[in-house]
Amino acid sequence: MNCQNYLFYNILFACFYFLSCNLDWKHNAGDPFTKEYWRTRFLEEWFVAYPRIFVIQGRVSGLYQNSLKLVSSSDGTSVSISANGSFSMTVFASPKYFDIQISSQPDNLHCIVWDRGVWDGTNQTNMLITCPFAKTVVLGKTLLWDRCTFGSSWNPEGNGTGIGNGDCSIGTATALNYCTTGEGYNATTNPNACNGGNNSFLVDKGPIFSACLNSRNSKRYGQSNWRLPLYTEMFSIIRCSATNTGVITGEDGCLTVGDATKYPGATADPILFPGTIADNYWSSQTFPAGGDIQAYMINFNPGNESYLNKDQFAYVRCVSE
């Protein structure tokens, strides 16, 4: 018997001997002068915290086309996962303090540990890994996009786009104004009320700004740097069809690859971006023409650059870095 096991069994013996003593007649797990208190501490804090070999069992959802790699920071054990569904990995770690990281992310997604699962006394079960972000690279910068239109949220259990893919079935996509009279907007006298009074500034107040600010403050999906995208960044998520791999730019958009090749509905990959509306999505930028009354946007119907008056309604997709 090695020293580690010898120490473990001595601790077990001492704890069971101590718990067998009649400390008090009371039954209060919060009172340190009762057996219940020490039994709870032993089982939940000491015994479960002690490192040993066990199995982590879980599921992956939201994965699409690419694979990811999980690693245990405790012992370096890793497993590669290439499809949605169940997985398991055997680790040597503390059941209470184990840490699983995603050491290799998919090229087109960013995945997170959504739920660590539960300890069943022998193994860690029901861990959930899912991928609420789509990923693009623009001018060397990696952008993490909310896969859901504002108003809806990622559902790792959703099957609207196929079993295991996840979807945006929590909530409902909501159209918003860029700016309103409540923020002082006036098309004639104050068209830049929501972008610092200058058409070169980004939006800094109003409904669409607040939408992504709320995501930042709530640390949506664990991220705290949400913002409105630039319209040129939104070009990177236009997909006219499954065979279109190029980046579409300008007002022609998907017309350059022919209408016959377009996805039905919105010009965005329906699995990467489930529930995308075939309509306008705001950017954070004013269109500096026509009196600054319009903002740049992307229209995910034809898949092109577009413009809309700031007091009109369009959709929002927030992005983080």
How far is Cα 232 from Cα 241, in angstroms, rounded to an integer?
19
Number of H helices, E strands in the chain: 4, 17
CATH number of the domain enclosing 117: 2.60.40
User: Which pLDDT score is estimated for 251?
Assistant: 87
Average pLDDT score over the chain:
88
User: Given 132, 159, 174, which residue is the final one in a domain?
Assistant: 132
Mind listing the pLDDT tens digit for each residue in 177-233? 999 999 999 999 999 999 999 999 999 999 999 999 999 999 999 999 999 999 999
Percent of the chain clearing pLDDT 90 (strictly above): 74
For the chain, report the end-to-end CA distance as a whole number of angstroms: 51
User: Given 82, 115, 132, which residue is the final one in a domain?
Assistant: 132
Q: How far are the Cα atoms of 41, 49, 64, 91, 296 from residue 30, in angstroms, in the given order?
A: 10, 20, 47, 33, 59
Place of tokens 């309604």: 313
- Identify whether residues 278 and 177 lie together within a single domain: yes
Segment 233-250 mean pLDDT: 88
Phi and psi based region of residue 58 (left: phi greater than 0; alpha: psi -120 to 50; beta: remaining): beta
User: Which pLDDT score is estimated for 285?
Assistant: 98
Q: Coil, strand or helix: which one is 112?
A: strand
Segment 265-273 mean pLDDT: 94
In this model, does residue 264 exceed pLDDT 70? yes
Q: Which domain holds residue 17?
A: 3-47
- Identify whether residues 89 and 237 lie together within a single domain: no
User: Which pLDDT score is estimated for 17?
Assistant: 46
- Identify whether residues 104 and 126 lie together within a single domain: yes
In this model, does residue 247 exceed pLDDT 70? yes
Which two three-digit tokens encode residue 218? 């709530």
In this model, does residue 32 exceed pLDDT 80? no
**Reported confidence tier of residue 23, pLDDT bands at 50, 70, 90:** very low
Contact 208, 297 (CB under 8 A): no
Q: How many domains does the chain have?
A: 3
User: Given 47, 67, 82, which residue is the final one in a domain?
Assistant: 47
pTM score of the predicted model: 0.84
User: Which pLDDT score is estimated for 46?
Assistant: 53
Segment 117-143 mean pLDDT: 96
- Identify whether residues 81 and 95 lie together within a single domain: yes
